Amino acid sequence: MVANLYDCMGLNPFQTGHCDLTLGFEGQAGKQDSDIHALRRGDTDKVSSPPLGQAVITVGPRFQVATLSGTGIIGSRLDATTQPRCGPAMPLSDGPFIFSDILDYKNLREIVVNNNISWLVHYSAVLSAVGESNVALAKEVNITGLHNILDIATEHGLRVFVPSTIGAFGPSSPKDPTPDLCVQRPRTIYGVSKVHAELMGEPDVSVFCQYYHHRYGLDFRCLRYPGIISADSQPGGGTTDYAVQIFHAAVKTGCFECNLRSDTRLPMMYIDDCLRATLEILEAPADTLISRTYNINAMSFTPHSLTQEIQKVLPDLKVTYNVDPVRQSIADGWPMVLEDSAARRDWGWKHEYDLPELVQTMLTHINTGNQVAQAY
C-alpha cells in the first residue's frame, strides 16, 4: 500500500484531489468477496493467488500513484513502511476495491485516466519456480503485462518503477560478487522477463530503448532485489522461499525440510531494507542516477549458516534436506553476492539488517503473531 508514499517525498505532483491505487492479484472466480473481506481485516496473506495475472485495486482519495500487485509480500508492506516518515497512513482496508487484470490494457488505461495517475509501481509477476511450471502464464503476466504498463506510461507521461531480481543473472554471470553490468543470460522465464524489463527502461541500451527514453521522456527506475524475507506474508513460489519457511517451521514445529543444498549461498535482504531502498530510489533526483537499474545487497548466507544462526535462539531446531532439482538448478545459476557500490555511491543506499538482526527480528515477529492468534 502506498497511501502516503509520495506525499512524504515532497513530490509536487501528488497533491490533494488525486488518488492512489494499489493493485494486487485476484483469486479464482467467486473469490472476490472473500478477498475483499480479507483485505478489510488486514489479512493480505489470505487473498487468493492469481490464475491469470488478475488484480484487486484499492482506490484511496489522495495521491496519483498506482502500485500493481499491492497485496504481495512487498506491495502489502509499503503502507506500513511509509507511516513513520509521513505520519498516519491510509490503511489498505479503506478501499474501495476494483478488480482488474494486468493483461487488460483498456481497463488499466481507463483506471489511470480516471484517477489522474502519474506513477506506476509495477510488482505483478509470476516468480521463478512457479514460472518454470507454467511458462505460458509467466510470459503473459511478466512480459505482456509489462508492455501494457510501459505503453500506458509513455502515452500518459507517467513515471515507472519495475523491480528486477537476482534471477536476472545466469550461470555465465560472475557470482562472487555480481556487478551491475555483466553478462546476464538467465535460464528461467522469470529471469528472461526481468532482463527484458531492464533493457526496455534503460536509456542507452538499444535504439528502441533510446526511442522510449528520448521520444517519450520515460522516467524508469529499477532495483535488482535479492531474496526478500518477511514474516508478514507467505512465500509466493520463488527459489528463496526456504529462507522464510524455515522461520515459521522453527517456531511452530521445531523441524524443517529444506529444498536446497545446505551450501547454497544466495543474496538475501530483510523486507524493511527492501522497502526503504525502494523509497530511496523513487526519491532520488533523476540527475543523480548514473544508471536506471541498480543492484542492492544486504547479506548472503546458506541454509546451513541460517540454521546455525536460528539455533542460537532455538537450539532444538532440526533441519533435513530434500533437494528439489528444479529449484536447485535455478539457485546454482544465481549470484552469491550482489555488488552494489553504484547504489551506495549514487543515491546513498545502505542496508541496516545483517543476519543476526534478521533472525532476531523474524523470530520476534512470528512469535508475536502466534500470541495474537492464540488470543482470538
DSSP line for 251-277: HHTSEEEESS-TT--EEEEEHHHHHHH
CA distances from 222 to 13, 161, 202, 264, 293 (A): 21, 6, 9, 26, 5
In the chain, the percentage of residues whose pLDDT exceeds 90 is 47
CATH node for 125-375: 3.40.50.720
Q: What is the mean pLDDT of the chain?
A: 76
Residue matched to cell numbers 534436506: 321
Q: Determine the Cα–Cα distance for residues 206 and 212; give it in Å rounded to an integer.
A: 10
Residues marked as catalytic: 190
Place 215 in a pLDDT band, splitting at 50, 70 and 90. low
pLDDT at 339 over 70: yes
Q: Where are the domains of the chain?
A: 125-375
pLDDT at 63: 40
Place 6 in a pLDDT band, splitting at 50, 70 and 90. very low
pLDDT at 44: 41
C-beta of residue 277 within 8 angstroms of C-beta of residue 346: no
Place 184 in a pLDDT band, splitting at 50, 70 and 90. very high
Amino acid at 166: I
At residue 87, what are phi and psi to the nearest 5 degrees? Answer: 90, -165
Region of poorest pLDDT, from 5-14, 152-161, 308-317: 5-14
Place 96 in a pLDDT band, splitting at 50, 70 and 90. very low
Q: Strand, coil or helix: what is 65?
A: strand
Handedness of CA 184, 189, 193, 194 (dihedral sign): negative
Across the range 346-363, mean pLDDT stands at 97
C-beta of residue 60 within 8 angstroms of C-beta of residue 115: no
pLDDT at 205 over 60: no
**Between these two residues, 111 and 260, which has the higher pLDDT value?**
260
CA distances from 171 to 185, 310, 325 (A): 8, 30, 16
